[in-house]
Amino acid sequence: MSHSPSTRRAAAVAASAVAALALSGTAVQATPPDTTLRAEAPRDLQIGSAVWGQRDLLGHDPQDPTAFQQILAAEFGSLTPENDMKWAEIHPEPDVYDFAGADALMAFAQAHGQEVRGHTLLWHSQNPGWVTEAAATWTCDEARDVLEDHVRTVVGRYAGDIYEWDVANELVQDEWDAGGVRLRTEANPFLAACSDDPVALIGDVFRWTHEEDPESVLFLNDYNAEGVNAKTDAYYALAQELLADGVPLHGFGAQGHLSLQYGFDESIQENFERFADLGLKVAVTEADVRMPLGEDGEPTAEQIALQAERYDKMLQACLEVAACTSFTVWGFDDGRSWVPDVFPEGYATIMTEAYEKKPAYDVLLESLTAATPGRSPRTPPGLNE
């Protein structure tokens, strides 16, 4: 979808000299390759990548783009701030907002005709110290006030320019966690303060977001949420509860962080279809496929082939469900992947550190090229258009 910049955001960005300094100049008119993921995507599906604006966009001369920036602009029609809109970066102190990285990302996207997925407003992780420390003594009203200020400030700044928001991220525990599948009430500082009725607070976060930006499509988002399982059953029930209460919930996102150490859940399309039948959009929001590597740090031929297959299976599920609006990889090159810092695995993205395209890239491009240019013929009953 296409948005015109809002007056509120225009004024906010004008007040930020940092982003203007970084990337608000004329877009570089580089000649793109004959075929790219962005060019071959069906017109109703955005192919995106996560990017860390503070690291990779801020301060770079738009007239002299890096190789990374040229690929980012050519290959992807959608950007997700990997870290720039998380609490720790964008709201580091109680009365301090730092929009530098997020503004740089927004400026880059606008200069290159790209959409932006906002990420994220309510999460148990990557919160600044002042939040985690104060949360121990918060009343529910105090937690609500802090959260509402944050949501309205951040969403309001970019209103009209973010086509999808991951409003609430990783709300539900996995079945193997202590206590099993349930809301992460203890881990999330805001839900913990409002533990008597955490669902009401979740609903209000969606309401505040919608009030500030009525054009954006608002998502629940989580990992281990690709197929039909106990965790997605909990999300399905939560979605039904929120919708019944009139909450402006519009979408469900499966992150798609996979590992070759585990099997692939073939029920991803079935899962997407049941959320679509609730009238929700669906998306693959953070796809990567990691693997354990040998002593030489290199994958085997079998691992490379299986990685490509799993990337493609996630994309195919998206292509087969009309309600799927976006397919986003969590970074496109191994040099910037979060995986080795968190897992004893690697080789998770679709390009090497030197930007060599892997078979995973090739199979995604092939599937996009073969896809119907418009919508899939299946339109789920009650789909929000």
Checking if the pLDDT of 24 tops 70, the result is: no
pLDDT reading at 354 higher than 50: yes
Query: What's the pLDDT score for residue 378?
Result: 39
pLDDT for res 12: 36
CATH number for the domain spanning 329: value is 3.20.20.80
Assess if residue 360 is contained within a domain. yes
Residue 276 half-sphere exposure, CB side, CA atoms within 13 Å?
A: 22
Q: Active-site positions? A: 170, 286
200-238 residue pLDDT tens: 999 999 999 999 999 999 999 999 999 999 999 999 999
Residue 333 zone, left/alpha/beta (φ > 0; ψ -120 to 50; rest): beta
Domain with 151, as residue range(s), is: 7-370
Q: What is the pTM of this model?
A: 0.89
Query: Would you say how long the chain is, in residues?
Result: 385
The rounded distance, in Å, linking the Cα atoms of 261 and 347 is 13
380 within some domain: no
Distance CA 76, CA 86 (A): 22
Helix, strand and coil in the chain, % to nearest 5 = 40, 15, 45
pLDDT of res. 34? 64
pLDDT at 373: 79
Q: What is the rounded distance in angstroms from the CA atom of residue 132 to the CA atom of residue 113?
A: 38
Residue 127 phi, psi dihedral angles, 5° rounding: -95, 145
Residue 2 included in any domain: no
44 pLDDT exceeds 80?
A: yes
Burial zone of 94 (CB within 10 Å; 0-12 exposed, 13-18 middle, 19+ buried): exposed
Task: Tell me whether residue 381 is in a domain.
Answer: no
163-174 burial, b at 16+ Cβ within 10 Å, e below that, comes to bbbbbbbbbbbe
Tell whether 361 is covered by a domain. yes
Domain count for the chain: 1
In tens, the pLDDT along 149-171 reads: 999 999 999 999 999 999 999 99
Q: Which amino acid appears at position 283 of this protein?
A: A
The answer to whether position 382 is within a domain reads: no
CA distance 147 to 115: 26
* Domain-located, residue 246: yes
Q: What is the mean pLDDT of the chain?
A: 90
- Bridge partners of 78, per DSSP, are 48, 115
Q: Is residue 180 part of a domain?
A: yes
The pLDDT tens digits of the residues spanning 77-122 come to 999 999 999 999 999 999 999 999 999 999 999 999 999 999 999 9
Residues 222 and 175: their CA atoms lie apart, in Å, by 14
